[in-house]
Amino acid sequence: MAQPYVIELDEAISRIQQACDGRSLSPFFFMVGAGISYPSVPLAVDIVSKCKEVAKTFGRSLESAEKSPLDDYSHWFQTAYAEPDQRQKYLRELIEGKQITHANFRLAHLLLNNTISNMVVTTNFDDFLSKALTLFGKPHIVCDHPQTVGRINPSQAMLQIVHLHGSYWFYDCCNLRGEVEDRAQQSSQTTSTMASLLDMILWDRSPLIIGYSGWEGDVFIEALKRRLARPLGTNIYWFCYQRSVLDAVPPQLKVHPNIRFVVASKTSISADGSAGELKLEAQQKSAGGVEAMGLPALKDDEPTLAADTVLARLIQAFKLDAPDLTKDPLGFYAALLDDSLPRGEATDSTTDIYAIKGVIERVRKAKQREQEETQRVSINPSESTLEKVRDAVRRADYQEAVKHGRNVELRNLSIKDLDELADAMWSAALGLFDDSDEEISAYDLVIKIRDESSRRQVVESPASKIQVAKALLYKGITLATINRSEEAIAIYDEVARRYGDATEFPLRMLVATALVNKGVTLGKLNRREEAIAIYDEVVRRDGDATELALRELVAKALLYKGFTLGKLNRREEAIAIYDEVVRRDGDATELALQELVGNALNSIGFQRIVTAKRLRMSGDERAARRELEQAQDNINAALERSPQDPIKLGNQAYIAFLKGEKNEARTLLTRAINIGGQTTRDGELEDAEINRLPEDDEFCEMVRSIPIPN
C-alpha cells in the first residue's frame, strides 16, 4: 500500500535551498493558513466552540450530524450567525486590533528581498502579513476578491498576496461550505475566479504549505488536485504541525509522489516565547521517556512543527540580514518619508501642506544627534553586546545569540534591558531546542538574568516567575533527554522549591509538570517506589483542581502510577488506579480527558491479558477466557475514544489471537503496524514475552511477517 512521503525539517530546508539555487524565478510560492495567525486569531476548533456557546444562548439546536471538519465548522458558524454581515462582524472582532504574530513577521522578513518567493496565497481573513510588510517598508499588491484577480501576475517581481476566501473587511468573505465550494468553481464565462488564478500560479510553481491543514472542497485543495494530474517540475513541501495532520489530508494527495510531508524531528518546537500560552510544550520533549515506559503517546505529546519555527529556519538557512527597520530605525523612517514626496523643488506652495519635509528634517536631526552621542560618550560594552543579541535573534541565528548573551555584563543593564535580554535568551533556547549545550546555557541565562532583575525590585513580576519556572522545567527535561537524570531531578526539585506554594494557575501547572516529569525520570532509573510517591504528591496537590490542564496532569500522574505498579507486579493495585482515572473523568466531554480515559481502559485491558496468560499457564482455561473477554471489553471501550491508536489495536489483535481468531488477529495487527510502524511491531514482540506461552512463538512470527510501511 502506498504511503505518504514523510521527511523531517532539516532535510526539507536543504531541498528547498537546492531547488532555489541559481534560479532567477522562484519555483515556489507560499501557501499559508490559520497556523501563521495563531494565537492572535483563534483556530477553527476554537471558533466552533464559541459558535456553540452563541447557539446555546439563543436556544438553537446543539445537535450536528456533520462529519468533515469543513461541514462541522460551516454548520456551527451558520447556526450561531445566520446573516453574512453578522459573520463578517464576528470575524472583524476576532482580528481587528490583535497583535501581528511571530510567524507573520517571519514570513514578511522572508519576502523583503523575494527570498524563496514573491507570492503568498492564503486562506486567512486577517491582514497581519500586509501590516508586517508595511512596517518593514515593503510595497505589495493584495487580491482579496475574484474581481481583483487581474491584479496578480506571477511572472512579475512585485510582491503579491492572494486572500482566497476574502478578508474580514467585507461581508462576502467565505466561511460556509457553499461559499468555499463556490469560490473553488471554475467558470466558462470568465477567468476572474480564484480557481483560475490558482491554476495559473500552480502551472510552474509549487507551494510551500505552512499552517494549513487542507479541507476537502476548499479552492486550494481542488486546484491542487487538478494540477497534480500532471507531473510537477518541483516537489511540494507540506509542513505539518503534527504528524496526525496527515489523517485529514485527502487520500489522493497523501500518497502523491510529488508531495513531501514535513514533520517535526524530536527537537522541533514553536519558537514563540509567550509565557501565557501554557500548552505544556515540555511534555513533547519528555514524550520519549514516556514511550520508553511503554505508555501510549498522547496526541498532545506529539512533537510539533509550528509555523514560526519553519519560517525562522528558512531565514537562518538563507542567511538573511535583519530588516532595515530594526537595524537603523531613524534612518529607515527618514528614507521612507523622503521617498513619499516628489523629487526636486516644490513650485506649488500646497505641495507639502502637512510640512512632511519638516518632519523628515526632524527625524534626520534625531539621527544625527544619536550618532554624535555615540561618538561623544564611550559606548557601553553591554549595550553593544545586547544589540548583537538582538540582531542574531532577528536573523534566527540562535547559537550566535547565546554566545553574545554569555558576554553581557548584567550589572550594566537597566531593568528594561534585562527583561529584553531574558526574552531574547528564551527565544534562542526554544529556537534551538536541540538538546545542545547552547540550549542549556540559554535556560541558565534566563534564570540568571531574571534573578538579577528580581534582586533590584521589591516584587518579582508574575511574567518573570513564569519564565524562570519554564526555563528550569525545560532545562530539566533537556537534561533528562540526554541521560543526565540526576541533574534533571535536582532541577525539577528546584521548580517545586521556588514555586511549590504558588497559587497562580500558570505556576501550579509548571510545578505539577515538573513533578510528573520527575516521576517519569525516577521510573527510568528503576526508582519506582520514589516515582509512585511523586505521582501521589501530584494527586494530593491538584487532585481537586477544576482547571482542565491540571485535571489532565492528574490523570497522567495516575496513569504513570498504574504503569509503575504493573512493573512491580502489583497488578490489582494498578487496575484500581486505572479504574480511578475512569471514575474521575469517564464522563468528561473534553477530547484530551477522553483520550486519557481511553489509555486507562487500554491499560486495564492489558493487565487482564497478562493475568489471562498466567491463568492459562496454570491450566485454568475457563478463568483465562473470562479475563480475555473482560480485556476485550476494556480495549473496545478504549478504541471508541481513539479508533486509530496502534497500541490499542495491537492489544485487540493479541486478544483475538489468544482466543484462536487468527485471521482477525492478522487483520488488526496489519492495521496497527501500518499506523505505528516499527515501534508498534517492537512493542508487540516485547509484550509477548510477558508470561510467555508456547503459542506466542506463532504470534511473534505473525508480527514479523507483516511488512513495515515505507
Strands (E), 34-188: 119-122, 141-143, 160-163
CA distance 584 to 597: 9
CA distance 622 to 52: 50
- Top pLDDT among 180 and 403 is at 403
Is the distance from CB of 253 to CB of 225 less than 8 angstroms?
yes
Q: How many CB atoms lie within 10 A of CB 155?
A: 7
CA distance 373 to 269: 41
CA distance 333 to 362: 11
pLDDT > 80? residue 453? yes
CA distance 602 to 640: 11
pLDDT > 90? residue 314? yes
**Whole-number pLDDT of residue 350:** 58
Q: How many CB atoms lie within 10 A of CB 698?
A: 12
Q: How many CB atoms lie within 10 A of CB 301?
A: 20
Q: How confident is the model at residue 154 (pLDDT cuts 50, 70, 90)?
A: confident
Range name among 287-296, 612-621, 686-695 with the lowest pLDDT average: 287-296
pLDDT > 80? residue 15? yes
- Top pLDDT among 195 and 268 is at 195
Q: Backbone dihedral region of 114: left (phi > 0), alpha (psi from -120 to 50 degrees) or beta?
A: left
pLDDT > 50? residue 292? no
pLDDT > 90? residue 27? yes
**Whole-number pLDDT of residue 552:** 95
In 3-state terms the chain splits into helix, strand, coil percentages (rounded to 5) of 65, 5, 35
- Top pLDDT among 67 and 499 is at 499
- Top pLDDT among 256 and 291 is at 256
Containing 443, the helix (H) or strand (E) segment is helix 437-455
CA angle (183 as vertex; 116, 96 as ends), nearest 5 = 70
- Residue 597 grid cell: 480515559
Q: How many CB atoms lie within 10 A of CB 625?
A: 15
pLDDT tens string 538-582: 999 999 999 999 999 999 999 999 999 999 999 999 999 999 999
Q: Highest-confidence range of 265-274, 276-285, 352-361, 455-464, by mean pLDDT? A: 455-464
**Whole-number pLDDT of residue 51:** 86
Q: Where are the alpha helices (DSSP H) in 257-380?
A: 281-292, 307-317, 324-327, 329-339, 356-376
pLDDT tens string 170-191: 645 555 455 545 544 555 445 5
**The CATH number of domain 569-710, selected from 1.25.40.10, 1.20.1080.10, 1.10.10.10, 3.30.230.20:** 1.25.40.10
Range name among 353-367, 373-387, 411-425, 554-568 with the lowest pLDDT average: 373-387
* Residue 8: φ, ψ to 5°: -95, 170
**Whole-number pLDDT of residue 79:** 87
**Whole-number pLDDT of residue 275:** 29
Range name among 44-53, 130-139, 290-299, 569-578 with the lowest pLDDT average: 290-299
All CATH 1.25.40.10 domain ranges in the chain, comma separated? 569-710
- Top pLDDT among 291 and 261 is at 261
Q: How confident is the model at residue 277 (pLDDT cuts 50, 70, 90)?
A: very low
Residue-averaged pLDDT of the chain? 87
**Whole-number pLDDT of residue 348:** 57
Tell me how long the chain is: 710
The whole-number average pLDDT for the span 13-27 is 91
Is the distance from CB of 173 to CB of 154 less than 8 angstroms?
no
**Whole-number pLDDT of residue 88:** 82
Range name among 131-135, 200-204, 294-298 with the lowest pLDDT average: 294-298
**Whole-number pLDDT of residue 163:** 93
The DSSP 8-state label assigned to residue 669 in this structure reads H
Q: How confident is the model at residue 287 (pLDDT cuts 50, 70, 90)?
A: very low
* Residue 139: φ, ψ to 5°: -65, 150
**Whole-number pLDDT of residue 124:** 92
- Top pLDDT among 165 and 625 is at 625
Containing 262, the helix (H) or strand (E) segment is strand 259-263
Note the pTM of the prediction, 2 decimals.
0.81
The whole-number average pLDDT for the span 292-302 is 46
